[in-house]
Structure 1
């Protein structure tokens, strides 16, 4: 089965972002992918003050409706990160997995929020909690044609416990739709993705935002797919789209890469190196 991850540059123009995501789904379906995973915040990336007015409940979001409709028309699985309205002032950072019949198979709300204070001249403060409420539940993996998928999001990547918990529940694939910063992307992105793949003996799907989303927001990109041995099977271009992006007709602002997922090999590797059975529950706690 072929799996694909998307890379795009969302802005505060939700209609533009919607059209871009729908186009990516169509293109991935034409390439005979079983699933396309789109990045975190695919519906929009905007200044904090805009988040409350742009966020929508899942059942009334035009972005979600269009993505679900295209998943159904294309008869493929689609994953995507969105802002799910929670209160008048705040949202959830939600990772949706949509089935080929257009239904939401699962909706994971990001557990770990990106609240950081970088020092130095290139530093800065990012407080996701100013606009976002953290989730309170880790969900069981979802059965799909490419295996049992465990849903996580971006900053969750830095917490190995959640990946290990999903592996314990049967995950064969871990998904981290992301919008990594430039500062953290180069030193940490690939290293962490490969570590999560190796320690859990899982495929890792890592769709990513890329480029200049606004005068004050830029992301790293490098969407990739990692195999359970830690190898990078596919990686998107590191060339960001132009800024400011046009309102329409900018398919170059979005792309995807794909690769085959081999579950027989995954299970063989787990048998040959039985990490899970070798854990020392008598010495340390098992998640």
Structure 2
């Protein structure tokens, strides 16, 4: 798809929801909230990571692969139909079965006519206690067959969307590469929460770090950021831990990191705001970070460590 001229203002929404082990029920909640967002004028609606299921990566279980779907498949078709019916651009999340033995954590973007505008397969895959994603997900392609980088914005009728996923949000390289490729908004569908046994001070530090790093990407790249997260406590199926309490706090911020909308830590809700797309350009004229980059001095960034 070629670049499409877009209007100055964009009404967008991010959905924060709780999920269950019933995919049909979780998707019904998603659809209800998306319809509400569209009724209130949203032209772009962004969903959280793996919104159709519980966050199954707390344990390693081969039976979980039965949840994966191809694209196109049942969940992508439902999201496509919803985008077409409501006339919105919709960013969703799918546990993708690409082929036997290759599965991805994939963000999908559907146009207002229901067509697939593009997809992004999560590039950075964590493997931490309670977040055993390397067992399930193959990293996304660093380079596509047509020469595009894996960090390539998706062209839509509402602009160029720099879609990344969760763990990607901790990496300034991913945000910067999306910005350099012309992204107009950075989008981070997320599933992150606390170990319920952590003390309140540690929980506060983790939450503040999560919010701060993404606001930093907004500031460093002069771009708005959309970060929807899930809510609710989900038990550990193996019973080896007390599960994860997902901390919500979904937010939308502007290109100087200013909060435009923010949720609490427990409510299912819709965040809505109107973006003025001229602000990124006006800010870049007075804070020209991209102009002053010393690309001649950054070669060592491609090394694992510097000796």
Write out aligned runs for 1:121-132 (5 A).
124-132=129-137
Q: Structure 2: how far apart are the matches of 1:214 and 1:260?
A: 36
Q: Structure 2: how far apart are the matches of 1:264 and 1:151?
A: 20
The answer to whether the 8 Å contact 1:5/1:256 transfers is yes
The answer to whether the 8 Å contact 1:12/1:46 transfers is no
1:25 aligns with 2:54: no
> Deviation string for 1:153-189 (max 9, x for gaps)?
0000111111111111111211100001225741421
Q: 1:257 aligns with which of 251, 268, 271?
A: 271
The answer to whether the 8 Å contact 2:119/2:154 transfers is no
* Aligned equivalent of 1:9: 18
Q: Structure 2: how far apart are the matches of 1:89 and 1:170?
A: 34
**TM-score scaled by length of structure 1:** 0.87
* Aligned equivalent of 2:240: none
Q: Structure 2: how far apart are the matches of 1:275 and 1:255?
A: 35
Q: Structure 2: how far apart are the matches of 1:90 and 1:283?
A: 37
> Deviation string for 1:8-50 (max 9, x for gaps)?
1122211011111111221111011110000000121254424
Q: CA deviation at 1:238?
A: 1.7
Q: Unaligned regions of 5+ residues in structure 2, if any?
A: 1-9, 143-149, 196-202, 237-242, 303-307
Write out aligned runs for 1:88-107 (5 A).
88=100, 91-107=103-119
Q: Unaligned regions of 5+ residues in structure 1, if any?
A: 117-123, 241-253
Runs of 4+ in structure 1 off by over 6 angstroms are none
Q: Structure 1: how far apart are the matches of 2:23 and 2:130?
A: 25
1:35 aligns with 2:47: no
* Aligned equivalent of 2:70: 57
SS at match of 1:91: strand
> Deviation string for 1:78-97 (max 9, x for gaps)?
00111001345552000111
1:273 aligns with 2:293: no
Write out aligned runs for 1:56-205 (5 A).
56-60=69-73, 62-88=74-100, 91-116=103-128, 124-137=129-142, 138-182=150-194, 185-205=206-226
**TM-score scaled by length of structure 2:** 0.81
CA distance 1:91–1:11, shift in 2 (3 Å): farther
SS at match of 1:5: strand
The answer to whether the 8 Å contact 2:151/2:177 transfers is no
SS at match of 2:209: helix
* Aligned equivalent of 2:248: 221
Q: Structure 1: how far apart are the matches of 2:275 and 2:232?
A: 28
> Deviation string for 1:54-113 (max 9, x for gaps)?
1111222x2221111111100000001110013455520001111111111111100011
The answer to whether the 8 Å contact 2:15/2:46 transfers is yes
